């Protein structure tokens, strides 16, 4: 009788997790959409403010730099107010950041644009610190990678739609009215105003719905006995995972940030910015397809081994693009998106597995490592300014080599 009751309780809990997962997955979609819009903003604002590659990469520096400054305070915030209220706070802050785009465009101020991106990214950081460990905990530990990949697949749906829609609404609008700097800057006002409204609506929804109170803290209480005296830094899977997240996000963002300019190179495809924008969706769309496939492959095979295989494939593709021209160079670099697919969720779930009461701290540290997206694209921009656009892609190759090492070192989630 006890066994049947226990089984019923588990099945009931599983059913109850369906709606929370749906709501949480909407967050993954939104921050993916917003992040990929930066790939449109970079060539757009580069043209409007006459920037070189290094200056244009300050967009990613300010956006992903927010992760370095906000992640640890976000982890402490969650400890104080809980995951659901943290999500609401993140959505409100992201909405405010979107609304700052209006005065930034009106003032034709690049620093104000960077400030708006920092505020927006601060809100998204809180969402990341809240939602990633929450999804990982919504079910059995051995399927955490698969579950997080499932939600991240919709993150990739957002990153796929973002460049296509951004190219249509922002770059397309400029093409119609002309290349005047004021018109280029002003074309972002209405889109970001609308996105700010959407974030506020989502905040209101998350403030009213009921999300289950997870046992991240409760299960951590049980783990406190065995983890007595430890900190998050005591776990090697986390320490190595922090570096893996840093280089993964840095490598992925570096590739995505340069795609429009890369495809505009006469030796590659010679496309205009507006014509190249839809191809960026192929890059992010590959990640989406790969994540839906990864839901199953990380259940059938050791997640770390799958991760290492994807990273090695990325190394090969980037190297092929660097050493070729024309359509081969173009499609090989776009295919890297497919390899990126399972990397973030797999690294994240491997890194936080077995942390128990240190999960929120570990999540904050991992999200802080997303600052790789701020630093590495700037470094690639420096290489591109001095050695050429194609030569800069040596940096992502080094990133993917480390990820290969991490996947081989930690093939399974820790219990």
How much is the CA Rg of the chain, to the nearest whole Å?
21
Q: What is the pTM of this model?
A: 0.74
Q: Which of 209, 216, 219, 215 lies closest to 20 in space, CA to CA? A: 209
Residue 276 falls within a domain, yes or no?
yes
Q: Give pLDDT, residue 144.
A: 65
Q: Which band of pLDDT confidence, cut at 50, 70 and 90, is reported for residue 392?
A: very high
Q: Which band of pLDDT confidence, cut at 50, 70 and 90, is reported for residue 165?
A: confident
Q: Give pLDDT, residue 5.
A: 39
Q: Is the pLDDT of residue 219 over 90?
A: no
Distance of alpha carbon 73 from alpha carbon 128, whole angstroms: 13
pLDDT digits (tens, 9 = 90+) for 323-379: 999 999 999 999 999 999 889 888 988 898 877 777 777 877 888 898 898 899 999
Residue 273 falls within a domain, yes or no?
yes
Residue 360 falls within a domain, yes or no?
yes
The CATH number of residue 26's host domain is 1.20.1250.20
Residue 218 falls within a domain, yes or no?
no
Q: Which of 249, 343, 362 lies closest to 294 in space, CA to CA? A: 343
Q: Could you tell me the CA-to-CA distances from 19 to 199, 200, 401 in Å, in that order?
A: 19, 20, 38
Summarize the confidence of residues 59-78 as an average pLDDT. Answer: 86
Residue 373 falls within a domain, yes or no?
yes
Please, what is the average pLDDT of the chain?
Answer: 82
Residue 240 falls within a domain, yes or no?
yes
Q: What tokens appear for 104 in the block?
A: 């930034």
Distance of alpha carbon 115 from alpha carbon 230, whole angstroms: 37
Are the beta carbons of 57 and 378 closer than 8 angstroms? yes
Instruction: List all residues 6 or more positions away from 177 whose beta carbon is below 8 Å from its beta carbon.
Output: 183, 187
Read off the DSSP letter of residue 358: G
Q: Give pLDDT, residue 166.
A: 77
Structural domains counted in the chain: 1
Residue 271 belongs to domain spanning: 19-208+231-409
Residue 14 falls within a domain, yes or no?
no
Residue 296 falls within a domain, yes or no?
yes
Neighbour-count burial of 231, counting CB atoms closer than 10 A to its CB (0-12 exposed, 13-18 middle, 19+ buried): exposed
């Amino acid at each position: 009788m006890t066994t049947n009751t226990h089984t019923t309780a588990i099945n009931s809990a599983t059913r109850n997790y369906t709606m929370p997962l749906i709501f949480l997955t909407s967050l993954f979609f939104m921050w993916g959409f917003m992040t990929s819009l930066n790939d449109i903003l970079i060539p757009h604002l580069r043209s409007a403010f006459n920037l070189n590659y290094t200056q244009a990469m300050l967009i990613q520096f300010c956006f992903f730099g927010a992760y370095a400054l906000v992640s640890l305070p976000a982890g402490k915030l969650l400890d104080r107010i809980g995951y659901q209220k943290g999500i609401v706070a993140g959505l409100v802050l992201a909405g405010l950041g979107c609304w700052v785009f209006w005065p930034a465009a009106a003032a034709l101020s690049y620093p104000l644009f960077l400030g708006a991106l920092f505020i927006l990214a601060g809100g998204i950081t809180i969402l990341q610190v809240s939602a990633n460990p929450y999804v990982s905990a919504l079910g059995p530990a051995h399927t955490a990678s698969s579950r997080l990949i499932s939600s991240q697949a919709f993150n990739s749906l957002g990153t796929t739609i973002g460049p296509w829609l951004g190219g249509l609404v922002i770059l397309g609008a400029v093409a119609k009215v002309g290349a005047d700097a004021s018109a280029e800057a002003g074309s972002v006002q209405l889109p970001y105003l609308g996105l700010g409204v959407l974030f506020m609506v989502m905040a209101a929804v998350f403030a009213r719905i009921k999300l289950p109170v997870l046992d991240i803290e409760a299960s951590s209480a049980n783990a406190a006995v065995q983890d007595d005296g430890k900190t998050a830094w005591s776990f090697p899977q986390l320490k190595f995972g922090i570096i893996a997240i840093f280089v993964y996000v840095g490598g992925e963002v570096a590739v995505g940030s340069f795609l429009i300019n890369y495809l505009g190179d006469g030796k590659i495809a010679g496309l205009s910015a507006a014509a190249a924008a839809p191809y960026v969706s192929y890059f992010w769309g590959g990640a989406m397809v790969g994540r839906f496939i990864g839901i199953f492959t990380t259940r059938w095979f050791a997640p770390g081994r799958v991760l290492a295989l994807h990273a090695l494939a990325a190394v090969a593709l980037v190297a092929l693009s660097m050493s070729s021209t024309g359509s081969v160079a173009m499609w090989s670099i776009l295919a890297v998106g497919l390899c990126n697919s399972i990397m973030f969720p797999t690294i994240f779930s491997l890194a936080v597995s077995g942390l128990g009461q240190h999960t929120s701290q570990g999540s904050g540290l991992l999200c802080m490592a997303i600052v790789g997206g701020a630093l590495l694209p700037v470094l690639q921009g420096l290489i591109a300014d001095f050695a050429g656009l194609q030569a800069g892609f040596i940096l992502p190759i080094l990133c993917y080599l480390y990820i290969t090492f991490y996947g081989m070192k930690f093939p399974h989630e820790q219990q």
